[in-house]
Amino acid sequence: MPDDPPLLEARSLVKHYKVGAFAGRLRAPVKAVDGVDLTLKQGSTLGLVGESGCGKSTLARLLMALDRPTSGTVRVEGRDLLGLSSAELRRRRRDIQLVMQDPYTSLDPRMTALEIVREPLDIHRDLMPKQDRATRARELLEMVGLDPGHAHRHPHQFSGGQRQRLGIARALALRPKILVCDEPVSALDVSVQAQVINLLKELQREFGLSYVFIAHDLAVVRHVADEVAVMYLGRIVEHGDRDTVYSRPAHAYTRALLSAVPDPDPRRRNTTGRIVLQGDPPSPTRPPTGCAFHTRCWKSQEICAGQRPEPAATRADVLRQVSCHFPEN
């Protein structure tokens, strides 16, 4: 029997933003996402990591068909999202829900917790008769560890962690298969981060959910991801299973990001040393030629500026892909 198509798959995905003319001349587009391939497996978590501005949120919007790619495809269970009729797209959108970073801005302050969680059911009103929706909303609140007795509170009456739980309950209302979590814990204190991450893991086990989990640092992703993709200036520079990427990073950029993460194993702590990257990432309007990381890479040689490295397996691990002329491991 042929394998089932992957749950979610992006191929050669590109999003260039045209930002209008300046002084009568057309400006170069912002290359927010510039050729991304990725696959999300059923029941697993793909961690997507990279500095602010590297294109993570743009990629998230493309995966959810909230934005049209400049080119490339997104398939959900083998179906190309771009080819769907609007009714089919509406149906498909229920399967993929977004959890955003900042529940302060993503939750309507005038609505109660119950209304916030019930709203998706009111919008997709063919799913459930009206009288059942409030019951389901209360169940959802309980499912994410909120007190259903607080159903009539407004967002500002909850803590940051509770608001994020509310955002998760809302995202789960339509029984999605996939959650795209865009920096879901970046605005929270470390102790609260752990609670929200544990909740996401429990929900995943209980409902067989699959996650794309976005973060700007590798520390958070270590606790959730099965696979990790590292993004730099609109491209994935390294991708592999979590343990491989964390224990034997092959791309210099991954090494630099990892060197900023405290190692949980005290025997390894401080043996590798911190790599401090020079300068900010270059502008995605004019990414460097060749390997986009070469302007900040301590291993850079002539070929790095002249030729873009294509993703390739490393010798030690055929499943790990790295885009570098001089990979480690």
Note the residues at the interface with ligand ADP (CB under 6 A): 17, 19, 30, 32, 50, 52-58, 284
Q: Decide which of Mg ion, ligand ADP, none touches 53; Cβ closer than 5 to 8 Å per partner kind.
A: ligand ADP
User: Residue 89 corresponds to which amino acid?
Assistant: L
d(CA 93, CA 270): 45
Can you tell me which of 7, 46, 57, 233 binds Mg ion, judged by CB under 5 A? 57
Q: Decide which of Mg ion, ligand ADP, none touches 138; Cβ closer than 5 to 8 Å per partner kind.
A: none
H-helix or E-strand spanning residue 115: helix 113-123
Helix axes 160-172, 130-143, angle to 10 degrees: 130
Least separation in angstroms between CB 48 and ligand ADP: 9
Binding segment toward Mg ion, per CB under 5 A, in 2-10, 53-61, 130-138, 305-313: 53-61
- Per DSSP (E only), the strands in 90-146 are 96-99
Q: Decide which of Mg ion, ligand ADP, none touches 30; Cβ closer than 5 to 8 Å per partner kind.
A: ligand ADP
- Per DSSP (E only), the strands in the chain are 8-17, 21-22, 25-26, 30-40, 45-49, 71-76, 79-80, 96-99, 178-182, 210-215, 227-232, 235-241, 312-314, 317-322
The residue among 116 and 230 lying less far from ligand ADP, judged by its C-beta, is 230
The residue among 56 and 320 lying less far from ligand ADP, judged by its C-beta, is 56
Q: Decide which of ligand ADP, Mg ion, none touches 284; Cβ closer than 5 to 8 Å per partner kind.
A: ligand ADP
Least separation in angstroms between CB 174 and Mg ion: 23
The residue among 56 and 138 lying less far from Mg ion, judged by its C-beta, is 56
Provide the CB-side half-sphere exposure for 207 (13 A, CA).
Answer: 21
User: Residue 73 corresponds to which amino acid?
Assistant: T
**Token pair recorded at residue 215:** 């973060």
Q: Decide which of Mg ion, ligand ADP, none touches 163; Cβ closer than 5 to 8 Å per partner kind.
A: none
User: Does 106 engage in binding with Mg ion (CB under 5 A)?
Assistant: no
Phi and psi, residue 296, nearest 5°: -120, 5
The residue among 33 and 168 lying less far from Mg ion, judged by its C-beta, is 33
d(CA 51, CA 183): 12
Site for Mg ion, rule CB under 5 A: 56-57
